[in-house]
């Protein structure tokens, strides 16, 4: 007896050769495991105090006005010590900014320029004060430190992460920088001007424009004393004339503005340097 195999079951009419090819391709594609996304490189965002420096602030009783610009040469001997301020610096977050600031406190560069015997040149009551303006040392200004390393923190997004949220914030002045234009155009220019917030409230207008690199650990009362020193403020009429002159492009308008908010008594950094701690008790993070 002869046996015959039954014919293979026929595929439904809608399964064509092209359909089987597409089905095979789809199945193969779905079976390939997907590659996990690369792990992002973490960068420090929590401010950690890695270094400490001190600044002694003193008060000179003379009035520092434009017509007495040379009165700080030499600095007056009849000074009153306001007190010492200890600053904690965030070297893990902005290492180049901290390194340059420490160099200026120690006078380590070849020209031996430092913040010592330089003025607090602007005070904005209830907000902050400025120091470290570059210019002539006989006027209490910083000699331009041409041999400092170029600060690439100024173009790093993470350098602007911290805010000016309380009194005692130490920040590198970028938007508030008061250096003359001809100094800024020097190829060897290095910005060393800094600000310290004085409170009582935050200064949100400084956020995302200036680099926060430290905080006041001790001596906030000294900061408050500096903030209370009277400053030169023009009358409303003078301000209106100045605005009009600036609108018409009169260069004298900006020259006049340079003396606004200048302390009527000379406040200067009479000494500065680094504090070495044998067993440092570093604050891991600060608000």
179-206 per-position pLDDT tens digit:
988 888 888 889 999 999 999 999 999 9
Residue 41 has pLDDT above 50, yes or no: no
| CB contact at 8 A, 196 and 173 | no
**Rounded to whole angstroms, how far apart are CA atoms 178 and 132?**
9
Of 182, 181, 178, 176, the residue nearest 197 (C-alpha): 176
Q: Looking at residue 15, what is its pLDDT?
A: 47
Q: Are strands 169-172 and 194-197 parallel, antiparallel or unpaired?
A: antiparallel
Distances (CA, A) of 45 to 91, 167, 280: 11, 20, 21
**Rounded to whole angstroms, how far apart are CA atoms 213 and 87?**
10
| CB contact at 8 A, 128 and 198 | yes
**Rounded to whole angstroms, how far apart are CA atoms 130 and 191?**
13
Instruction: For 62-79, give the DSSP string.
Output: S---GGGGGGGSSPPSS-
What would the mean pLDDT of 45-65 be, rounded to a whole number?
82
Residues 6+ apart with CB under 8 A from 75: 60, 117, 140, 266, 268
| Higher local confidence (pLDDT), 257 or 95 | 95
Of 188, 151, 157, the residue nearest 173 (C-alpha): 151
C-alpha dihedral over 55, 90, 226, 108, to 10 degrees?
Answer: 30
**Rounded to whole angstroms, how far apart are CA atoms 196 and 46?**
20
What would the mean pLDDT of 36-43 be, rounded to a whole number?
48
- Mean pLDDT (the chain) is 79
pLDDT tens track for 102-123: 999 988 655 557 899 999 999 9
Q: SS3 for 18?
A: helix
Q: Looking at residue 181, what is its pLDDT?
A: 86
**Rounded to whole angstroms, how far apart are CA atoms 166 and 159?**
18
Q: Looking at residue 279, what is its pLDDT?
A: 55
Residues 6+ apart with CB under 8 A from 181: none
**Rounded to whole angstroms, how far apart are CA atoms 139 and 33?**
70
DSSP symbol at 7 = P
Task: Using a pLDDT cut of 90, give the percent of the chain over it.
Answer: 47
List the structure tokens of 248. Answer: 């018409």
- Domains of the chain with CATH codes: 52-234+262-274 (2.40.100.10)
**Rounded to whole angstroms, how far apart are CA atoms 167 and 53?**
18
Count of residues making up the chain: 287
């Amino acid at each position: 007896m002869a046996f015959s195999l039954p014919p293979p079951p026929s595929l439904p009419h809608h399964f064509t050769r092209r359909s089987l090819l597409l089905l095979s391709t789809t199945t193969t594609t779905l079976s390939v495991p997907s590659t996990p996304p690369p792990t992002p490189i973490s960068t420090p965002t929590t401010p950690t105090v890695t270094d400490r420096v001190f600044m002694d602030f003193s008060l000179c009783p003379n009035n520092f006005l434009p017509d007495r610009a040379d009165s700080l040469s030499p600095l007056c001997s009849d000074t009153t010590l306001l007190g010492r301020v200890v600053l904690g610096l965030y070297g893990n977050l902005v290492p180049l900014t901290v390194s340059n600031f420490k160099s200026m406190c120690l006078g380590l560069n070849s020209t031996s320029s430092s913040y010592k015997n330089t003025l607090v040149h602007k005070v904005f009551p209830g907000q902050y004060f400025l120091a470290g303006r570059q210019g002539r040392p006989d006027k209490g200004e910083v000699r331009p430190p041409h041999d400092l390393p170029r600060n690439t923190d100024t173009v790093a997004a993470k350098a602007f992460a911290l805010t000016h949220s309380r009194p005692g914030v130490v920040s590198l002045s970028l938007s508030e920088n008061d250096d003359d234009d001809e100094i800024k155009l020097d190829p060897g220019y290095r910005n060393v001007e800094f600000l310290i917030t004085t409170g009582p409230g935050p200064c949100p207008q400084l956020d995302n424009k200036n680099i926060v690199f430290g905080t006041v650990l001790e001596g906030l009362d000294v900061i408050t004393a500096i903030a209370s020193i009277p400053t030169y403020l023009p009358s409303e009429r003078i301000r209106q004339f100045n605005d009009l002159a600036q609108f018409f492009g009169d260069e004298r308008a900006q020259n006049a503005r340079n003396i606004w908010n200048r302390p009527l008594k000379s406040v200067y950094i009479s000494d500065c340097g680094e504090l070495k701690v044998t067993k440092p008790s570093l604050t891991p993070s600060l608000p």
